[in-house]
Structure 1
Amino acid sequence: MPESRVPARPRERLAPLDAIPACAVCGGDRYRHQDVLWQGLVDEWALLPDEVAYVNRQQGTVCERCGCNIRSIALGKALCIAFGREGTLDAMLDAPPAIRLLEVNEAGTLHWRLGRLSGHVFGSYPDVDLQAMAFDDASFDAVVHSDTLEHVPDPQLALAETLRVLRPGGAAIFTVPIVMGRMSVLRTGLGPSYHGDPSQAGADLIVHTEFGADTWAMVLQAGFTRCEMVAFDYPAGIAIIARR
């Protein structure tokens, strides 16, 4: 038998809950966990057991102090890095930067925090269509969204459109669910996959892209000059800073 040229998907091991770093949003150091994935989605995405574990951690492990899950904490860490601030997101917002920030969809438990910014603009998807936004060129210093891009039919177009509305030096700060050990998969021609109960979900919750290890390349292909992958409790928490 010839040797397979398909690389094995690496096993990703999670640290115990008491070894997770202090929360990048509030500084808390105690976490609780509840699994959130259901078997139908596991089967649709063909997730291996280790992948199930870290996606469950990403969505279902929360800081006991502020209630943010690992996904939101990673995004909070990325926001601090993007604006050159040390410490927690809450500390940054006590003396907030003077920026104009577009938040598309509620960025989890960060939504009310981002609302403290005087230049905060909010819009739900698809009311704000990431593929064709009704904003002028160079309108924002930052565009933020969390686990939204996988529901956009053409994420490459959405990233390019995000670049258009960013001012020079601006950044898109976002999360997408990433399966680390494989390349991104377009679900074109596959059965519909939803995040949430399909009987109660609209078309805007259909998953069009399963993001993988090449997510960074999609960012650069859209025209961004720099892509930073920010880890919190890797591999569960990954956020992306895409700089114009």
Structure 2
Amino acid sequence: MLKCTICGHTEFKRANVLWPLLIEQWEINAEEVDYINRQQGETCTHCGASLRVVALGKAVQKGLNDNRPLKEIASTREPARWFKKPAEPVRILDVNGAATISDVMSAMPGYIRGDYPDVDMMNMSFADNSFDMILHSDTLEHVSDPVRALSECHRVLKPGGCVCFTIPMIVGRLTRSRDGLEPSYHGDPSSGADDWRVHTEFGADCWTYLIKAGFSDVRLFSVEYPAAHALMGVKEG
């Protein structure tokens, strides 16, 4: 039974979220439309977390070495579970945030929220070895150079730290750049905002981007195949 990694509940509801123009631009077939709608539009009836956020929560649990729902971890603040040593909380950078998981994790000491353009993933102002964990969810596809962005994550992570993230992944194809193709946007398709523009359509080889960025320990977490996956890159300690 699918269990929400954010709140621990097990009831989910579904709504379709894809629109015809995006389906046409990405050349998505009926099976892909179905599981991407699940990935983005199937949500926990208790806390509202989508399947992609549930997958991200699973990666975060592993990164914190704690399998309890994140809401429980954040509310109890149990040092033995997720503090490295007394008075030194895990430092977490949440880039752009994701509904539900960011609200819960913001209660954790050491949590920092960094939104674009104040935090540019390709040129972060943080010092080397600053964070134990970096999160981002469905953000990397909007970055013009995803390897550079992940390299920046690698740089600012402490040795042994991890980056946990989701991307819209089409598992039956390889990644392709949208350079030279008609501009495609997420969010409101009529907005045309540059930070919503999709630069990369990720496929089954998405894990290689972490390797190219300097991570040698790469992990994949799945909660519903083929709909919901999260990736983790661990910096060598």
Return the alpha-carbon distance in structure 1 between the equivalents of residues 185 and 159 of structure 2: 35
Return the alpha-carbon distance in structure 2 between the equivalents of residues 114 and 87 of structure 1: 13
Return the alpha-carbon distance in structure 1 between the equivalents of residues 192 and 93 of structure 2: 25
Which amino acid letter does the alignment assign opposite residue 45 of structure 1? W
Shift of 1:178: 0.3
Superimposed CA distance per residue, residues 106-125 of structure 1 (whole angstroms, 9 cap, x where no aligned partner): 22221111111110111112
**Aligned-residue identity in percent:** 43
Task: Name the SS for the 1:232 alignment partner.
Answer: strand
Shift of 1:191: 0.7
Matched, 1:191 2:182: yes
Shift of 1:187: 0.4
Shift of 1:73: 0.7
Give structure 1 stretches of 5+ with no counterpart: 1-19
1:64 to 25, 37, 45: 45
Return the alpha-carbon distance in structure 2 between the equivalents of residues 171 and 105 of structure 1: 17
- Asked if structure 2 preserves the Cα contact closer than 8 Å seen for 1:195 and 1:205, the reply is yes
1:21 corresponding residue in structure 2 = 2
Shift of 1:94: 3.0
- Asked if structure 1 preserves the Cα contact closer than 8 Å seen for 2:63 and 2:133, the reply is no
Shift of 1:199: 2.6
Larger mean Cα displacement after TM superposition, 89-98 or 149-158: 89-98
Give structure 2 stretches of 5+ with no counterpart: 83-88
Across the aligned residues of Structure 1 and Structure 2, the Cα RMSD in angstroms comes to: 1.1
Number of residue equivalences: 225
Matched, 1:180 2:171: yes
Q: Normalised by the size of structure 2, how large is the TM-score? A: 0.92
1:4 corresponding residue in structure 2 = none
Superimposed CA distance per residue, residues 2-33 of structure 1 (whole angstroms, 9 cap, x where no aligned partner): xxxxxxxxxxxxxxxxxx51212111111111
Superimposed CA distance per residue, residues 116-165 of structure 1 (whole angstroms, 9 cap, x where no aligned partner): 11101111123211000001001111110100000000000000011000
Shift of 1:76: 0.7
Structural mapping, 1:70-81, within 5 Å:
70-81=51-62
Runs of 4+ in 1 over 4 A off after TM superposition: none
Which amino acid letter does the alignment assign opposite residue 23 of structure 1? C
Structural mapping, 1:19-168, within 5 Å:
20-96=1-77, 97=82, 98-168=89-159
Q: Normalised by the size of structure 1, how large is the TM-score? A: 0.89
1:215 to 186, 206, 211: 206
Which amino acid letter does the alignment assign opposite residue 64 of structure 1? T
